[in-house]
């Protein structure tokens, strides 16, 4: 996998355009003059989580005695479930508006640094640990694009409107289904070879 393809994969999973509506909803209780600072803070927290997982994920796998096959298969299943929610969103989204400013949850994690991104990073680093700097570069590229999109969330939401955001989210979901199935098949292939 090249840096570009890894970046595109991570960007698809992070789904910044699909998260625009979520960010707007979560920031409603925040005073307008603080919103940009809150989004920037949450994006930095997400980056710290992602980089820590990139460098410490393999150690965590060893500590838990998990195999690469289990990681691929479980990562594929998680991605598949997330992709299905993107393609077929629930009829009624949660309308509960938080009463306090969001901190770490849900903006930093799981919306940006979610389980599917963490699982994908683990798959990358365990499949080719020598290329960890390539994976870091891909992560930084995907995070930068995600950050740019989410910092411009109010403008994008006005331009795309609800139907446009939904269409983009479904398209990303379709791409993610293919990635999830491939990840699952790779894990099954590794398992059957052993």
Instruction: Return the percentage of the chain with pLDDT > 90, whole number.
Output: 31
Give Cβ neighbours of residue 102 (< 8 Å, ≥ 6 apart).
26, 27, 30, 38, 42
pLDDT digits (tens, 9 = 90+) for 10-69: 999 898 987 887 788 788 788 888 999 999 999 999 999 999 999 998 888 889 888 878
Is the full-model pTM beyond 0.85?
no
Note the pLDDT tens digit of each residue in 155-164: 887 888 878 8
Exposed/middle/buried for 156, CB within 10 Å: 0-12, 13-18, 19+?
buried
Is residue 97 scored above 60 in pLDDT? no
Residue closest to 154 by CA, chosen among 61, 38, 7, 59? 38
What's the structural domain count of the chain?
Answer: 1
Query: Is the separation of the CB atoms in 46 and 113 below 8 Å?
Result: yes
For residue 186, how many other CB atoms are within 10 A of its CB?
Answer: 18
Structure token pair of residue 110: 């799981």
DSSP string covering 98-143, please?
PSS--BSBTIIIIIIS-HHHHHHHHHHHHH-GGGHHHHHHHHHHHH
Q: Which residue range is the domain that position 89 belongs to?
A: 3-193
């Amino acid at each position: 996998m090249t840096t570009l393809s890894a970046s595109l994969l991570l960007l698809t999973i992070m789904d910044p355009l699909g998260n625009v509506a979520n960010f707007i909803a979560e920031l409603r209780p925040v005073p307008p003059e603080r919103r940009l600072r809150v989004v920037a803070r949450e994006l930095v927290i997400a980056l710290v989580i992602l980089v820590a997982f990139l460098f410490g994920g393999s150690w965590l796998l060893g500590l838990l005695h998990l195999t690469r096959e289990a990681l691929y298969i479980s990562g594929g299943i998680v991605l598949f479930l997330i992709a299905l929610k993107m393609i077929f969103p629930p009829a009624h989204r949660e309308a509960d508006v938080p009463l306090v400013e969001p901190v770490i949850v849900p903006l930093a994690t799981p919306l940006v640094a979610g389980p599917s991104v963490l699982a994908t990073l683990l798959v990358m680093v365990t499949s080719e640990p020598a290329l960890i700097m390539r994976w870091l570069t891909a992560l930084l590229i995907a995070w930068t694009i995600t950050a740019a999109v989410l910092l411009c969330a109010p403008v994008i939401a006005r331009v795309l409107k609800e139907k446009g955001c939904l269409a983009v989210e479904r398209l990303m979901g379709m791409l993610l289904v293919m990635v999830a199935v491939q990840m699952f098949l790779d894990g099954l292939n590794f398992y059957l070879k052993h």
